[in-house]
Structure 1
Amino acid sequence: MSGPFGATSTTDEVLAGVDLSGKRILVTGASAGLGVETARVLAARGANVVGAARDLAKAERATQEVRDQAANGGSLELVALDLADLASVRACADALLADGRPFDVIIANAGVMATPLGRTADGFETQFGTNHLGHFVLVNRLAPLLKPGSRVVALSSSGHRFSDVNLEDPNFETTAYTPFGAYGRSKTANALFAVEFDRRHKDRGVRAAAVHPGGIHTELGRHMTAEDTARLIEEINEANRRSGGPAFEFKTIPQGAATSVWAAIVAPADAVGGRYCEDCHVAEIIDGDEMTRGGVRPYAVDPDNARALWAKSEELVQERF
């Protein structure tokens, strides 16, 4: 589906005229970039935003504009969450469950990209463990707080095209590690999580969607050198030239966060549920050059792949949902 919004739409344009008074929304990664912008626009429209961040001091400094622009009863509270440590994830979820107030939306925004080979506190490969497994446990534990009409938005990426998930070796114990290969696995996992979560919860009126925010200059790229970035953009542009597509352009942060709030608030639930979205529309399924711009690869929205990943994820975190 398409609509009045597109690649250059901003968060304020997408939510123009929308009143979120009384809505409670969780945003992970609320200490920089897209997370701060997402929290800002939601609180400015009256939402009570719960911002989760690993470094609360940093988040306090980064979110002053969120508080300054909060209106119509909008607010921000911060909670501690380290997605690379399941003890922290479970403590965060337990505290929110004990609080008992329901959520209208959860936006799983936080993540890392193209990191050197590393391990989370629980021994998982850093990107898969942080981007996927941390959110897998958090969102599933918070599912009882999602009332009918609620939505979950999982931030995926066009980087899912670098790799399907590898359920035989999710932690790169036997296969060669590459930073973008691992990133691709984790972003495919984010998309597949939305597919299966949506399947499991849509009968009670809770929907889930995955979104690609676009290419944006944020802290997410801290592990990439200027040469890495230039090389990646040239590879994308070469693929675009072959396909007749436009040259790559970075989005602003308000443009990058627009698809998240579009999928969470504005788009019809039945249109985006279980789907992968980009540029404020549902993406076309395209099986082709990994670097071509636009679209989602079939494996990232395949229901069987999603169910298999869910089962493997439960096995890895030793928790069933």
Structure 2
Amino acid sequence: MSRFDSRSTTDEVLAGVDLRGKRILVTGVSAGLGVETARALAARGADVVGAARNLAKAEGATAAVRAAAAAIGSSFALIQLDLASLASVRAAADALVADGRPLDIVIANAGVMSPVLGRTADGFETQFGTNHLGHFTLVNRIAPLIRDGGRLVIVASGGHRFADVDLADPNFEAQPYDPWVAYGRSKTANILFAVEFDRRHKARAIRAAAVHPGAIATDLGRDVPPEQMAALFEQITAAAKASGEAPFEQKSIEQGAATSVWAAAVAEADAIGGRYCEDCQVGEIDDRDGIRPGVRPYALDPDSAKALWARSEDLVGERFR
């Protein structure tokens, strides 16, 4: 059982942890959780590679990361990555492979939440294409770089509880678009990807986990009208009260990134492999409706995970081990 909880911060989780000699890739380092995740890891000696769509924005946002790296003698570098473009994803992966330096940990942190209906450069619904297919392609292309005993951490969400994946119509071509349903599907896909990646790679002792950071005020919510976000929080609060659970509280960015670094560098590998984690713990299965703690069974179903993998390969036009 983890000694940490929902209030733990990145610095508390990583206290006493020495990551010197570890090389870690973190996507989405232009704001919020990605920046804090990169800072906390660099401050413990890790050499961090940060990926971002907008390099100019990321350069400005990561001053604290560079300062943390300089203070301990680690390094921080940026690469360009637009997860909504498979050409950009492949270029980033090719550059990492050509560089050849191994990775100990990959943290797939970047994402979008609840935008209006849109399409990626390759014609996929924006959330499924960005949150799942972009990371699916990137991670699988760089999987040979991950050292034996390494880890993959995918930032999912309690929002997976909104919807299971729909492999027959992943791009909302035959049904009305609902931004929260689409978000839920993409986050369920994140968890299922972790399940299947873990199954495929644990022979090399590479373990994968999905994490829910909690509700945090970050740039992720930039597409959600304030009144919608307020209504969602009211719904979560009411559900917690009705169930006799602890009152809902938003987390700080330092608390929100804590589960990512816990799963990446602190938790026992066998405890988190193929699992869903939240509040620096392995999440319990809970099939009740509504946004609440726990993971719905459909997000951990191994057959669904295999089916999603095959469908994702078809969609991106590549086959992976």
Distance 2:267 2:251 in 1: 21
Q: CA deviation at 1:69?
A: 1.6
Instruction: Specify the alignment match of 2:83 in structure 1.
Output: 83
Please give the secondary structure, in 2, of the residue aligned with 1:143. Answer: helix
How far, CA to CA, are the matches of 2:167 and 2:272 in structure 1? 26
Q: Aligned residue for 1:205?
A: 205
1:51 aligns with 2:50: yes
Aligned to 1:271: 271
List per-residue Cα deviations over 1:29-52 (Å, max 9, x = no partner): 011000000000111110000000
Q: 1:193 is matched by which residue type in structure 2?
A: F
Q: Does 1:302 align with 2:297?
A: no
State whether structure 2 residue 314 is matched by structure 1 residue 320: no
Partners of 2:229 and 2:58 lie apart in 1 by 27
Determine the C-alpha separation between the residues in 2 that align with 1:69 and 1:151. Answer: 23
The CA deviation string for residues 255-280 of structure 1, in whole angstroms up to 9 with x for no partner, is 00000000000000000000000000
Q: Please give the alpha-carbon distance, in whole angstroms, between the structure 1 residues aligned to 2:72 and 2:255.
A: 23
Whole-angstrom CA distance in 1 between matches of 2:243 and 2:230? 20
**1:20 — aligned with what?**
19
C-alpha contact (below 8 Å) 2:66/2:75 kept by paired residues: yes
> 2:310 & 2:8 partners in 1: Cα distance?
37
Q: State the alpha-carbon separation in 2 of the partners of residues 252 and 219 from structure 1.
A: 13
* Contact preservation (8 Å) 1:33, 1:219: yes
Q: Tell me the residue number matched to 2:217.
A: 217
SS class of match (1:87)? helix
Asked if 1:127 corresponds to 2:127, the answer is: yes
Aligned equivalent of 1:63 = 62
Aligned ranges 1:251-270 → 2 under 5 Å:
251-270=251-270
By how many angstroms is 1:240 displaced? 1.1
1:21–1:72 Cα contact (<8 Å) kept: no
Deviation of 1:244 after TM superposition, in Å, equals 0.7
Displaced runs of 4 or more, over 4 A? none
Whichever residue aligns with residue 62 of structure 2, its letter is: T
Question: Are the equivalent residues in 1 in contact too, given 2:2–2:267 (CA < 8 A)?
Answer: no
SS in 1 for 2:72: coil
Q: Distance in 2 between matches of 1:136 and 1:90?
A: 11
Tell me the amino acid that sits aligned with residue 5 of structure 2: G
Structure 1 residue 290: Cα displacement: 2.2
Give 1:239 shift.
1.1
Q: Is the 8 A contact 1:128 1:183 kept in 2?
A: yes
Q: Which one-letter code corresponds to 2:265 in the other structure? A: I
Indicate conservation of the 8 Å contact 2:153/2:263, yes or no: yes
Map Cα deviations across residues 277-312 of structure 1 (whole Å, 9 max, x no partner). Answer: 000000001111223x20000000110010000000
Figure out how many residues of one structure are paired with residues of the other and give that number.
Answer: 319
Amino acid at match of 1:58: K
Identity of aligned residues (%): 71
Give the distance between the partners of 1:136 and 1:68, measured in 2 at CA. Answer: 31
SS of the equivalent of 2:3 reads coil
Q: How far apart are 1:242 and its partner, in Å?
A: 1.6
Question: Would the aligned equivalents of 1:239 and 1:289 in 2 still touch at CA under 8 Å?
Answer: no
The answer for the alignment partner of 1:33 in structure 2 is 32
CA RMSD of aligned residues (A): 0.7
The 3-state SS of whatever aligns with 2:25 is: strand
> For 1:57 and 1:46, how far apart are their aligned partners in 2?
25
Question: Please, what TM-score do these two structures have when normalized by structure 2?
Answer: 0.98
Query: 2:244 — aligned with what?
Result: 244
1:230 — aligned with what?
230
How far the C-alpha of 1:247 sits from its partner, in A, is 1.9
In structure 2, stretches of 5+ residues that fail to align are none
- What's the offset of the Cα at 1:229? 1.2
What stretches of structure 1 of length at least 5 have no aligned partner?
none
Q: Shift of the alpha carbon at 1:73?
A: 2.4
Q: Distance in 1 between matches of 2:74 and 2:260?
A: 19
- Within 2, Cα distance between the matches of 1:65 and 1:234? 34
**Is 1:4–2:3 an aligned residue pair?**
yes
How far off its partner does 1:72 sit? 3.0
Q: Tell me, yes or no, if the aligned pair for 1:212 and 1:278 is still in contact at 8 Å.
A: yes
Counterpart contact for 1:97–1:145, Cα < 8 Å? yes
Whether the 8 Å CA contact 1:47–1:73 is kept in 2: the answer is: no
Higher alpha-carbon deviation: 125-134 or 173-182: 173-182
